[in-house]
Every structure is written in C-alpha cells, then in structure tokens.
Structure 1
Amino acid sequence: MQATASKYSLAGLNDFFKTNGQGFLVSVVVAAAAQFLSEHYGAPAMLMALLLGIAFHFLAEEGVCKPGIEFTARTVLRLGVALLGARISVELMIGLGPKLIAVVVLGVVATILFGLAGARLLGRGWRFGLLTGGSVAICGASAAMAISAVLPKNEHSERNLIFTVLSVTVLSTLAMIVYPMLTEVFDFNDEVSGVFLGGTIHDVAQVVGAGFSVSDQTGEVATLVKLIRVAMLAPVVLVISIMVRSHMSDEDKGAKRPPILPTFVIGFLIFATLNSMGLIPAVVVDAMSSLSRWALLVSIAAVGMKTSLKRILDVGGQAILLIVFETIFIAVFVLIGVALLGH
C-alpha cells in the first residue's frame, strides 16, 4: 500500500511539473531578465517584468506554457504576498509613536474611500475603485495583486490589474525622483521627510531609494512607515473578502464564495506574528523577504503574459485620471497630517 501511495504521489508530482513547469520557467526567465535590466539600467524591476511579460503574451494564448503561466500568476503570487508578512514587526512600529502611525493608517483608509468615490463619479466600477485605491494606499503592485486575488472576476479583471500595476509603478518611480525635492522645498527634517516619503510613495523599493537619497535617518524612517502601510494589507483584504461574500450571497446564493480569510492572508498574518515575537531569525527574515520579492516579480511577469497591450490601452483616460488623483490625495493627506501634528 505504501509503495502504491508513493508511486501515485510521484506520478502526480511528475504530472504537475509536466503541466506547469514550462510556463513557470518562462516566467522565471522573464523575471530574471527584468532584474538584470533593473540592476544595470536603473529601471524598476516590476515595470520591466510587466512590459517584458506583455511582449510574450502569445505564450499565454495557447500551447504548452499556458497552464504554467496561469499557475504562476495565481499561486506564486499568493506565496509572494504571504511571505511579505515576515517583514512586519510590531516592535519596530511602536518606535514611531501612535500619532504618526494614526496619520499613516488614516491615510490608507481615506485613500481607499477616495478611490471608491472617485470611481463612482467617473463612471467606473467599484472593483476598479478598490483595486486602484488599495494599490496606491498600501504597497503598489503587491497590494494590487493581493486585492485582485479576492475580487470577483469579470471580463475586465486582468486588464484592470495590469493597468493598475503599470500605473502605480510608473507613478512610484516619478515620486521617487520628485518627492525628495519636495522635502527640501518644504525644509522638512529627517523624521518628517521619512514619514512623508514612506507614507506616500507606492512601492517599497522606491521608498527605500527615495529615503536613503535624502539621508540614512530619513531612509530608515521611510522604510518603517512603509512597512506600516504594508501591514494594512491583511486587514484590507479581509474586509474586501467579507464585502464580496456578502455581496455575492445577495446576488447569487448558489455561487461559490471566496473564504472570509484567504490562505495567503493567513500566511501573511502568521509570519508577521512570528517575526513580531522574535521567533524568526534575522537571516531567515532576509531570505523570506528576498523570496517574496522574487515570487512577486515572477508572478507579475506571468500576469503580463496573460494580458495584451491592446486591452490595457482600452482602459481609458478616466482611469488614468483616477489613479493620478489618488496619488495626489494621499500625498496631500500625509502632508496635512504631519503639519497638524506640528512636525
């Protein structure tokens, strides 16, 4: 019996790799190429992975790579988001103080609500408002992919996700260049500069780049503030999941509803808790952070391959307007919050 079980287990594993292996490897190659371009030419790795992925869209239309690309865009993405939790530590956050933490948390909530309101005013769906507002408010491309994973799917889901990832990455790169100049214009000290940069720039990598370009202290504060925004990912996804379940139960009681707390969010919370308790060694945290980044990079390459450039261009000028205004909104909100606190 044991030998039979082992045989079937190995056969199942072999079938899995035969089905998904080629698409996964193509995604890895595209991600590696994007990382090479990022390291040698300074371009954002996520943006490069996305654009290179779009160039290989034909691989996701049919053929042996299609199942693996689907698997990578779905399952590897969830793994990357779960591993993000290892970067969160309550101990580090306490040092920032409750008032500044409140400004950052309120900025996240207000930006998501602004996204929903803006989407409605511009005639876009609530899904699009949540997706863009959440990605701007929390952590850019990573948040967009996590939120997209729990939103109900329609014919525009993949197009909207690609548009959002592309937009927040470009805007985050521009912010990385412009925002440090604003800290000099407003004559911010290192702490305030860090709060502003960490509380407004979308992607973690760009926050680090902008912060340390001002000073080491600014870089440390900016990274810490950004991690507070990243920590908001789990509760935001939980609230969205509950909303979706409630909405679906009214519309179609026979439809399969998503779980209240998706597995990847549970993983995120477990890793964040273990790290906060000091149970994960620093070297393991570094390894998990690196693995998370690579998993997200590989999955965004796969997501790019699943979407054609023509479909992205169909999204319209109103969508661009919405995500730009969301970016401006969170920047103004954090600036006002810091000013009111007398920093």
Structure 2
Amino acid sequence: MKNNDITHSYVTKVMVILPGLITAFIVAVISKIAAIWLPTLGAATIAILLGIVLGNTFLKNPVLQKGTKVAESLLLEFSVVLLGATVTFQTIAQIGLKGGIFVILQMGLTIVATYMLGKKMLFSDNMSLLMAGGNAVCGSSAVASIAPSIHAKEEEKGQIITLVNLLGTILMLLLPIIASIIYGTDILTKSALIGGTLQSVGQVVASASMVNSQVVELSMLFKIMRIMLLVVVVYLFGKFKQKKSVLTTIDETLPQKKKAALPWYIVGFVLFCILNSLVHLPEELSQTAHFFSGWFEITALAAIGLRLDFQKFFKEGKRFLIYGLSVGFIQVILAIGLIRLLSI
C-alpha cells in the first residue's frame, strides 16, 4: 500500500508538470519552424517572443505554471552543461592575444557600467547584477547561471531575461549595419564587434550570417571565450553578493545556509569543456550535445516567455526600456573604442 502511495504521488507530480512542459516544447517546435522563414530572428528569440504573446493571451492559465517552471529552470541548466561539450580551450587561441584582451576588457567594463547604471536607476542589486552578467557573457544562460549564486527571485530572473533578449534582438539587426559602415570589409573587426557584444549564441550566428560565413566563424570564437568566462563571473558575483549581505546583516546570530561555490551545471560545463579540450570528444558527440543543448534552451526560453506576466513588466516598462537601450549603447561604444585602442 505504501508503494502504491509513492507511485500515485509520483504520477500526480508528473501529470501536474506535463501540461506546461508540453506547451513549452510545442512553442519551441513552432519557433524552430518559424525560424526557417525568419532566420534573422532565430528560434531562440522567436520562442521567447511567441511565449510572451501566448502566455499573456490564449495560454494565460495557472495549470501551465508548474510545468513551465520546470522547463525554465531545469532545461536551461542542462543546456549550460551540454554547451561545455561544444567548446575547447584550443579553439579560443585562434582569436589571438589582442582578441582575448578585448573580450576581457569588454566584459569587465560592461559589467561595471551596467551595474552602476542599474543602481543609479534604482534597480535592485540582483537585477543590476543579472543585467550586467546577461549582457556581458551569454544572455539567458548567464542569467540562469548567476541567479542562484546571488539568490535572485524568479520574477527578477524572468524580467531580466526578457530585457536581455529584447535588447539582443535590436542589436542583432543593427550591428551588421554598424560594422559595415565603420569597418568596411575588415572581417576580424566586424567579428569582434558582433561576437564581443551580442548576448546569445543564436543572436551572434544570426547577426554574423547577415555579413558572411567568415564573420560567423570568427565572431563565434569571440563569443566562445565570453562563454568560457561565465564560470569566473558566476563565482565573482556570488562572492560580491555574499560580502554585501554580510555587511548589511544586523543579526549575525541567524543561521547561514552554506552553499557550494558554484552551481552544479557550471561545474558540469567546465568539466565537459576540459574533457573536450584534452581528449577532443568525437564530432558526433559534440553535435549531439549541441543539438540537445539548443532544444533545451529554446524550450526553456519559450517557458520563460509563457511565465512572464507582461502586466507586471509594464508597470516599470519605461524604466526597463531606458535601462536596456542605455546598456546596449554603452556596449557598442565600448566595443568600438576597445577595437580601435587595441588595433584589432
């Protein structure tokens, strides 16, 4: 009888999750198909935008909440882990020392400027840090990775992921034009601007594809190095938030919950990356990891869109929009300035 109770409880939990999980997957499939005709947007961007539209109209239903929450958190975490199997340390060397310095300075300055601007505009520490990390590193994956280490709320994470993706969509369409106007036919500088600035991998590929295949290849190298530094950003953000929490805590007698230095999926990402660098995993395995990582990410983004209550978002819509556009402007100016300074 006891085993029957356990089985019944398990089945009940699965049945509660399934509607939202299946819905998120269907939205992801539709987005993948739509991306065939809208390659400039890409499946990831379509997924979150379609999710937002449906989640605030036809699919605004509490029944979907449990499943979309699982899709949003767990699938995005698995996506981060599998991403490590597609990256190697050897690949990074191709962009050169100047390229590496550019990425580090671009990321560091973006983080500092975005955080300071967020605080100036009266956003919380968590939202300012999520915005800084999301734009500096790799969009949604970075936000998902940073959120647990700084104890960010689900609502904060969802709002920032939306803002980061909306900003990324705007920059994705503008950067090829800006790059062509400023750099003409110079492949490396175009690649540095696109790969060093855009938020998600999908946006980098889509934007670079508007130029040519060479820019796609090189811009992805700049992007990969940013992804490699995700583990450093998560660790530093966690330590920064921890220090601020200690300084602002009045009652030191409260029990402190000890957490691991890094979330499990960041550790998984690094281990896969090291393994792929030392052993060089078979191409079939890397492609399989890339395939599942992509599907997990798109399904998770669809779930995030479905879960986002636009009414709440629009309460601070103007402030959010100003913040996002300002960060995008800062990123582009920083990238152009650093490319010139370093003579890339």
Q: Same fold by TM (over 0.5)?
A: yes
Alignment-derived partner of residue 298 in structure 1? 299
Matches within 5 A, 1:4-153: 14=11, 16-42=13-39, 43-54=41-52, 55-56=54-55, 62-63=62-63, 65-153=64-152
CA 1:98–1:28: 2 relative to 1, 3 Å:
same
Paired residue type of 1:275: N
Q: List alignment gaps of at least 5 residues for structure 1.
A: none
After the TM superposition, which of the residue ranges 213-222 and 247-256 deviates more from structure 2?
247-256
1:147-226 matched pairs, under 5 angstroms: 147-154=146-153, 157-158=154-155, 160-188=156-184, 189-226=186-223
Deviation at 1:193, TM superposition (A): 1.4
Whole-angstrom distance in 2 between the partners of 1:307 and 1:212:
30
Q: 1:98 to 1:13 in 2, by over 3 A?
A: farther
CA contact (8 A) 2:159 2:313 kept: yes
Change (3 A) 1:68 1:174: closer
Residues 109-154 of structure 1: CA distance to partner in whole angstroms, max 9, x if unpaired?
Answer: 1111111110121121121111111111111222223223433244
Among the aligned pairs, what percent are the same residue? 22
Query: Contact (CA 8 Å) 1:238, 1:261: kept in 2 or not?
Result: yes
Task: Sort the Cα spacing of 1:56 and 1:120 in 2 relative to 1 into closer, same or farther, 3 A.
Answer: closer
Contact 1:81 1:292 in 2 (8 A): yes
Instruction: Note the 1:323-338 alignment, pairs <5 A.
Output: 323-338=324-339
Contact 2:44 2:202 in 1 (8 A): no
Contact 2:102 2:342 in 1 (8 A): no
Superposed CA deviations along residues 308-338 of structure 1, whole A, max 9, x for unmatched, are: 1101111232322222222222222222222
Given the superposition, is the C-alpha separation of residues 85 and 72 from structure 1 closer, same or farther in structure 2, using an over 3 Å criterion?
A: same
On the 8 A contact 1:53/1:305 being kept in 2, the answer is yes
- Matched residues in 1 for 2:243 and 2:34: separation? 44
Mapped to 1, the partners of 2:198 and 2:245 lie a distance apart of 34
Residue in 2 that maps onto 1:232: 229
2 CA distance for matches of 1:47 and 1:207? Answer: 12
Q: Aligned equivalents of 1:296 and 1:140: distance in 2?
A: 11
SS in 1 for 2:274: helix
Contact 1:193 1:218 in 2 (8 A): yes
Partner deviation per Cα, 1:138-196 (whole Å, 9 max, x = no partner): 11222223223433244xx41x4333333332332332332222222223411111111
- Contact 1:92/1:224 (CA < 8 Å) preserved in 2? yes
Deviation at 1:93, TM superposition (A): 0.7
Q: Distance in 1 between matches of 2:312 and 2:174?
A: 30
How far apart, CA to CA, are the structure 1 residues paired with 2:328 and 2:321?
Answer: 11
SS at match of 1:186: helix
Per-residue deviation at 1:258? Answer: 4.1
CA contact (8 A) 1:115 1:129 kept: yes
Give the match's secondary structure for 1:327: helix
In 2, Cα distance between the equivalents of 1:227 and 1:184?
Answer: 23
Would you say the 8 A contact 2:21–2:70 is kept in 1? yes
> 1:14 Cα shift?
4.4
